[in-house]
Amino acid sequence: MRSHVLNFVKPAFMEFRSLNFLNGAYTTMVDCKKLRTPVEISERKFQDACSKLHSLRSAMAVREKATKHAYHEVTETKKQFLCLGMTMEKLDQLSVVHIAGTKGKGSTCAYTESILRNCGYKTGMFCSPHLVDLRERIQINGRHLSESTFSRYFFEVYDRLLESMKNGAISDMPHYFQFLTLMALYVFLKEPVDVAILEVGIGGQYDCTNFINTAVVCGISLLDYDHEHILGSTLDEIAWQKAGIFKHQVPAITQPQHQKAMNVLIERAQAKNNPLYTVSGNVPGLNKDATNYEPFQLLNISLAIQLARVWLRDHDQENSRKQWFSDCNIQLGSTNLPVLDCDFPDFSKFTRGIKTCHIPGRLQIIKHESVSFYLDGAHTEESMKACADWFLKQCNLEMKSKSSTKMIRVLMFTVTGGRKVKNLLSILKECSFDVVIFLPNLQHNPKVIEDLKELATLENMEHCRDMQTVWYNLHQEISECQYKSTRRNTMEAVSILCPSVNDALYWCSSDVKNLVKPSYKLIGVPALLRGAAHIQLLATGSLLLVGKLLSFLNTDGL
């Protein structure tokens, strides 16, 4: 295998400037000595809010020190909520759809919100992580809050919590995700919304979103191995954590699961005396459109449809939630759940919400003249398999439409959170990439790297080197098995280390160079890239990576 590492030389000059890539134009920040307009004051306050938020402890750092049964996080969140001048009785009035899972819970939230909004209801949605803008996490009617509104609510919550900590009412300020959970619920009560869709952060049982007492309906998307150091190393342990959001006598709906996981969901549902259903993935009018919807997307959509359907039925005062109990009578030890399908009156009202729902960073394609960007934040084995299948199918369709064009495939890859790099790259090696770029989730590097020795001392680049080594070892195994790609010998793939997203993007995409500036003058571009008429670039492994790319490509989806 040929391994090529970029060399970096110090640029002739450095200019410290903040650029905003809005509508494809550069906007340089105003000199701070000049008089600020009201808009600039609003922006400054929003930046102050961002600075305060990032000064809080990270959720992951807190969880790393705690056991996977960190029940205190739920009780602490409840205590902090009460410090906002709220009551649990007031919170119980919020009409909640609570969604957990490993794969697809964010997409399920988005589809559920879009369906209910298109049915005429005022929606609130709390989701994570954000891709481009922090404000994506708290939305009203499918739109993020304005900077001034976000800032106002932020400081109302922050100041009250800070005062409560000083008075000894709480022992510490909430961590990053915990704070945003509190702020989201505070916003939804202040607005107010007809329905609040809450996406669980990690797990469910001990996730800080789970301090709410009740919900109208709970959903469980596909379960997979992720965050095992917190949730457990087996699917039944993970399922136990996710099913922790089940509420007493509240309907719950799940996608089809591995049998071990499904047994745990049934057991926990019976313990809470709540009806549990599953979905079929058969969505009239969408199953035939194979070019737009993958099978796992149809399962997410099916789950969202049924969650919205339960909420609408509960919202209709002429109906009673009790009818769900007569529909679902699961015997102890039974593995057969009632299946909800989409054959019901007025289903057509749901289709607009489905078809108009835009989920950036998930199976997203952005096409430029010389490069097609395929973006998917897959980071578990099952999601990576789906990503690879989707990428290959879309690449083949594109190649047929441009049969005379020389194309090469580029992988832009990184992972976070201690995930199993080898397992993910083993799946991606089947895609026959010509060039693989390993990089950290950085948009720039704070210091100039003059030589390879200094590059190797940086912790983030060491992580990239580790990924590159895994890739090399995988291809050694391929060589021993005399593996041959149907497209080309994958042993010829070039692997490269790059220090930031903007450097990698500038280097491999000639028609987006007006959007980015490299940190360094890059040299040594492989002939494969120099001679390519068109590049098919897959960015995956991390939603943070996808978000960084979207910020450059001017498609933030807000």
227 is in an annotated binding site: yes
User: Pseudo-torsion of CA 269, 274, 280, 282, nearest 10°?
Assistant: -150
**Residue 199 dihedral angles phi and psi, to the nearest 5°:** -95, 130
| Residue count of the chain | 558
Nearest of 141, 137, 319 to residue 216 by alpha carbon:
319
d(CA 412, CA 502): 12
Helix pair angle (147-166, 38-55), 10° resolution: 40
352 is in an annotated binding site: no
Question: In whole angstroms, what separates CA 310 from the centre of its chain?
Answer: 25
Per the structure block, which two tokens stand in for 314?
Answer: 């509960």
**Count of alpha carbons within 13 angstroms of residue 531, beta-carbon side:** 6
Residue 192 CB partners (closer than 8 Å, separation 6+): 94, 122
Residues 225 and 380: beta-carbon distance below 8 Å: yes
d(CA 90, CA 278): 31
362 is in an annotated binding site: yes
Assign 3-class secondary structure to 524-554. Answer: CCCHHHHCCCEEEEEEECCHHHHHHHHHHHC
d(CA 240, CA 257): 13
Cis peptide bond N-terminal to 192, omega within 30: yes
Binding annotation: 128, 199, 227, 362, 376
Binding annotation for Mg(2+): 128, 199, 227
Binding annotation for ATP: 362, 376
